[in-house]
């Protein structure tokens, strides 16, 4: 995907997530997500923080998290998520079309964020939202290339990941096959789509490989 296609996918997926969020009850906004310790409101606020997150925000978040990136993002999301649900959704509408992204990231990070975090919200609520396959492939390529924070190459060492709906393959060893959407969730440490994957490599996943630990 070229630059324009990536941003078009980001904007479409953010709009779809905003549409989903508008249908949720107050109780559903407090529902746990696939991210341990994160409620729907936290994840929703985190996704749309991307075009609002500047250098000063990064410094503040890392200070608050005492240098721990994961904790910094968690605390930042919890703070942003305290706002009324209507304000969070309004940010999605207000920032529709924005091409800003956090310092130190590529344009593929906002795509990765919205694709995966939409599933973090939708799946525990019993909602279905299919990832666009080409966008998911672009995000999978990005995760595979990143040494941090997902450490996918290390966690999934010894198996080959093979998409059966687009041309994408990574790693070496016995194959784990399935939709690129399910592979992307595995790459980012989610276990929710393991039942959509198969192949001789699946039983060979190391303990913790699908948890990001």
Among residues 184, 154, 191, 148, the alpha carbon closest in space to that of 166 is found at 184
- Characterize 46-74 residue by residue with b for buried, 16 or more Cβ atoms within 10 angstroms of its Cβ, and e for exposed: bbbbbbebeeeebeebbeebeeeeeebbb
The pLDDT assigned to 65 comes to: 83
* Tens of pLDDT, residues 108-141: 999 999 999 999 999 999 999 999 999 999 999 9
pTM of the model: 0.92
* Tens of pLDDT, residues 133-153: 999 999 999 999 998 899 999
* Tens of pLDDT, residues 54-79: 888 878 888 888 888 889 989 999 99
Torsion from C-alpha of 99, 102, 107, 112, nearest 10 degrees: -110
* Tens of pLDDT, residues 154-189: 999 999 999 999 999 999 999 999 999 999 999 999
The pLDDT assigned to 206 comes to: 67
The pLDDT assigned to 213 comes to: 38
What is the distance between the alpha carbons of residues 62 and 69, in angstroms, rounded to a whole number? 6
Angle between helices 3-22 and 40-49 (to 10 degrees): 150
């Amino acid at each position: 995907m070229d630059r324009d296609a990536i941003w078009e996918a980001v904007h479409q997926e953010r709009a779809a997530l905003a549409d989903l969020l508008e249908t949720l009850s107050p109780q559903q906004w407090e529902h746990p997500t696939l991210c341990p310790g994160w409620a729907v409101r936290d994840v929703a606020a985190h996704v749309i923080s991307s075009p609002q997150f500047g250098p000063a925000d990064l410094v503040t978040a890392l200070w608050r998290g005492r240098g721990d990136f994961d904790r910094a993002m968690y605390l930042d999301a919890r703070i942003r998520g305290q706002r009324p649900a209507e304000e969070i959704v309004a940010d999605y509408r207000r920032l529709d079309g924005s091409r800003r992204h956090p310092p130190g990231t590529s344009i593929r990070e906002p795509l990765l964020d919205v694709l995966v975090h939409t599933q973090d919200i939708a799946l525990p609520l019993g909602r279905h939202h299919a990832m666009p396959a080409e966008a998911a492939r672009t995000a999978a390529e990005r995760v595979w290339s990143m040494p941090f924070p997902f450490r996918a190459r290390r966690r999934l060492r010894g198996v080959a990941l093979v998409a059966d709906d687009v041309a994408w393959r990574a790693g070496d060893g016995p194959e784990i096959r399935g939709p690129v959407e399910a592979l992307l969730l595995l790459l980012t440490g989610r276990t929710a789509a393991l039942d959509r994957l198969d192949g001789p490599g699946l039983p060979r996943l190391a303990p913790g490989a699908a948890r990001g630990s």
